[in-house]
């Protein structure tokens, strides 16, 4: 079990700021370990299990910590804007949509093997709800698509950026990187595959195989090479995702009815003003920078027509709301 008695007591006695730092450091430790390339599915399932006790704590004894998440933990959008403002020379941000901490082992291994220097290897918080458009708006963009073909304008938080939003092969993306000194590229992978594979029933198992292939590919690292040509690069994400196919089913009929009514097969929804009657709650209504929304709390799923998605985001689990923050450069550009 990952959540030892000492760790649980430390979380319970900590301030919200310290508690979220402990949780983030713990998650980063779990997903920074070298990967078992021979059996990555088993390895990732092991890591999911190690973090499961933390999600259970946050859905039971520590559920109130979610109310403090945005006020005490680093919002990724704020961190990116601050990082951007501090860069004197060339810089670039690569947002891989729905990139989670699960993908860090492949990134870290290749960064080392391909000769890049790591300047920061950390964790930041997604927007609440952990969805694409809230993150885009937090950066001052109307949506992800507004970055397409450098049409984002100038009224955003990354001044001087040449912007692009793509959903194409890595080699094709690399060919579109110009010599402009400041770049923001938002790529739809792996989110496009998260949604595609969520319907197939295998979910995480299939996605891990694809992630291994993509993040080890020469095409992906050609894109990284182009983005780091005269630039410091930050690789990050708008939100993570939940391996909801691995979550336990709820059996209480009233709770199932409640979740179906409010969420259908999703994990977040606009608030309708109806309070959840359970303590600890099974869902939480949170006021945030993007209005008032209701979110599924913790690792739980319920039966819906057509089958529950095996991969999803929008709810309140660690791997939905914590995202990688990886700053690298070519060794010759240190």
Question: pLDDT tens digits, residue range 193-230?
Answer: 999 999 877 799 999 999 999 999 999 999 999 999 99
> What's residue 225's pLDDT?
98
CA distance 309 to 300: 12
What are the DSSP E strand ranges found in 80-228? 91-96, 116-125, 162-166, 182-187
Which CA distances in Å does 116 have to 20, 91, 208, 263, 328?
Answer: 30, 15, 24, 43, 6
Question: pLDDT tens digits, residue range 20-60?
Answer: 999 999 999 999 999 998 999 999 999 999 999 999 999 99
Which CA distances in Å does 127 have to 100, 111, 266?
Answer: 14, 27, 17
Strand pairing partners for 325? 122, 236
CA distance 330 to 322: 26
> What's residue 4's pLDDT?
85
152 class by beta-carbon count within 10 Å (0-12 exposed, 13-18 middle, 19+ buried): buried
pTM of the model: 0.97
Give the chain's residues under pLDDT 50. 1
CA distance 212 to 331: 25
Q: Is 158 helix (H, G, I), strand (E, B) or coil?
A: coil
| Helices vs strands, H then E, count in the chain | 13, 9
> What's residue 1's pLDDT?
47
Closest CA to 23 of 39, 7, 6, 5: 7
> What's residue 261's pLDDT?
93
């Amino acid at each position: 079990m990952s959540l030892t008695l000492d760790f649980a007591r430390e979380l319970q006695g900590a301030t919200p700021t310290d508690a979220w730092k402990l949780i983030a450091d713990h998650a980063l430790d779990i997903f920074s370990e070298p990967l078992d390339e021979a059996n990555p599915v088993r390895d990732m399932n092991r890591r999911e299990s190690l973090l499961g006790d933390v999600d259970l704590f946050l859905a039971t004894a520590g559920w109130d910590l979610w109310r403090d998440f945005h006020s005490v933990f680093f919002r990724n959008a704020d961190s990116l804007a601050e990082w951007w403002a501090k860069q004197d020379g060339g810089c670039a941000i690569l947002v891989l949509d729905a990139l989670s901490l699960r993908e860090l082992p492949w990134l870290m291994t290749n960064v080392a093997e391909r000769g890049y220097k790591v300047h920061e290897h950390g964790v930041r918080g997604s927007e609440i709800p952990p969805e694409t458009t809230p993150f885009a708006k937090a950066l001052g963009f109307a949506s992800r698509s507004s970055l397409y073909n450098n049409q984002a304008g100038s009224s955003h938080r990354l001044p001087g950026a040449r912007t692009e939003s793509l959903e194409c092969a890595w080699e094709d993306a690399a060919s579109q990187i110009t010599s402009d000194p400041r770049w923001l590229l938002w790529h739809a992978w792996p989110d496009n595959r998260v949604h595609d594979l969520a319907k197939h029933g295998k979910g995480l198992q299939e996605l891990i195989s694809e992630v291994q292939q993509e993040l080890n590919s020469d095409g992906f690292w050609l894109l990284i090479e182009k983005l780091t040509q005269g630039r410091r690069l930050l690789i990050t994400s708008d939100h993570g995702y939940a391996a909801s196919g691995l979550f336990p089913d709820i059996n209480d009929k009233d709770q199932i009815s409640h979740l179906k009514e409010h969420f259908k097969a999703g994990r977040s929804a606009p608030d309708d003003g109806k309070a959840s009657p359970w303590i600890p709650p099974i869902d939480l209504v949170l006021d945030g920078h993007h209005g008032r929304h209701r979110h599924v709390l913790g690792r739980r799923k319920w039966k819906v027509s057509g089958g529950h998605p095996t991969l999803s985001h929008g709810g309140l689990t660690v791997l939905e709301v914590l995202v990688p923050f990886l700053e690298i450069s070519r060794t010759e550009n240190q």
